[in-house]
Amino acid sequence: MKPFKVRLRFHGDLNLFLRSKACDAVIERPLAEKTSIKDVIESCGVPHPEVDLILVDDQLVGFDYTLANDTKADVFPVETRDTKRTEKRLQTISIVRFVADGHLGGLTRNLRLLGFDVAYPKNADDRELLEVMARENRALLTRDRRLLMHGFVQHGYWPRSQNADEQTIEVVRRFDLSKLVAPFTRCLRCNALLEETTKAEVIDKLEPLTNIYYDKFRRCPDCKQIYWSGSHFPKLQKRIEEILLRTQDKA
Ligand SMILES: [Zn+2]
């Protein structure tokens, strides 16, 4: 087979994944055998769950499209999604269940605080993370881009920031979660949905002052943690408000 070249142009923040930090960088890949567009894109460092649209010689294609001769390809991220053009989009936006890798504890806590279902299997290796993802139909959140490139991964996201609040804003935007926020409904420790409970039921577990000042309590049915709107509550509420306000800003 005659060697050929693919010229790829990466759009928007997909440039973050490239070695060259130029905007809308063009990368030329010489190939000697038929190769799927997905493999060529990932060979440039861009994980497939970050790719929402691919044009090969101005035609929309899927990940399995095979390249066999000189071509140009345009690769777009989810962020540039134009609501008028939804055909052949490769990513699903509306995902509400996640699994986070072991380095994203702050993000996990924040998302749970907002009421989202985030599995966070402690000390799980890559294989176990992928198993939870597939079995429970979750999107994978990880800053390990090699893991995100795993062929098993259908939906996932690579948080750009290393700051947990920024990551939370990114995830809420990426998966369009802002209308689904339900603060203080999920256990921050174990992810279970909280149940309303009465003071009488939890009174023997409360500190004396908590017993005096508070009347509304929720309890985790799994780990038995008790939640109430104590002195930490206004601070958490303010934090949630700030995060939600930021998710409405234009990026
Ligand atoms: Zn719990």
User: Using the 8-state DSSP alphabet, how is residue 65 labeled?
Assistant: P
Distance 131 CA to ligand 1 centre (A): 22
Distance 109 CA to ligand 1 centre (A): 12
What is the rounded distance in angstroms from the CA atom of residue 157 to the CA atom of residue 240?
Answer: 21
- By mean pLDDT, which of 13-22, 27-36, 126-135 is the weakest? 13-22
Overall average pLDDT of the 227-231 stretch: 81
Percent of the chain with pLDDT over 70: 94
Distance 227 CA to ligand 1 centre (A): 10
Give me the chain's average pLDDT, please: 90
Q: So what's the pLDDT on residue 197? A: 87
Q: Which of 250, 194, 247, 202 is nearest to 223 (CA)?
A: 194
Over residues 43-101, the pLDDT tens digits come to 999 999 999 999 999 999 999 999 999 999 999 998 756 655 666 789 988 899 999 99
For the cut 80, the answer to whether the pLDDT of residue 134 exceeds it is: yes
What is the rounded distance in angstroms from the CA atom of residue 161 to the CA atom of residue 167?
Answer: 6
Over residues 234-245, the pLDDT tens digits come to 888 898 999 989
Overall average pLDDT of the 214-230 stretch: 88
Distance 202 CA to ligand 1 centre (A): 15
Token reading at 86: 């939804």
Strand, coil or helix: 34: coil
Distance 226 CA to ligand 1 centre (A): 9
Distance 203 CA to ligand 1 centre (A): 18
Ordered DSSP codes for 178-242: GGG--TT-B-TTT-PBPEEE-HHHHGGGS-HHHHHH---EEE-TTT--EEE--TTHHHHHHHHHH
pLDDT range class, residue 23, cuts 50, 70, 90:
low
Distance 222 CA to ligand 1 centre (A): 5
Segment (H or E) for 166 = helix 164-174
Q: So what's the pLDDT on residue 211? A: 73
Q: So what's the pLDDT on residue 84? A: 58
Distance 236 CA to ligand 1 centre (A): 18
Residue 98 burial (10 A CB sphere; 0-12, 13-18, 19+): buried
Distance 186 CA to ligand 1 centre (A): 8
Q: So what's the pLDDT on residue 205? A: 81
Q: Which of the pair, 143 or 247, is modelled with greater confidence?
A: 143
- Name residues with Cβ closer than 5 Å to ligand 1, which is an ion: 187, 189-190, 192, 220, 222-223, 225
What is the rounded distance in angstroms from the CA atom of residue 249 to the CA atom of residue 109?
Answer: 22
Q: So what's the pLDDT on residue 218? A: 92
Distance 31 CA to ligand 1 centre (A): 52
Percent of the chain with pLDDT over 90: 70
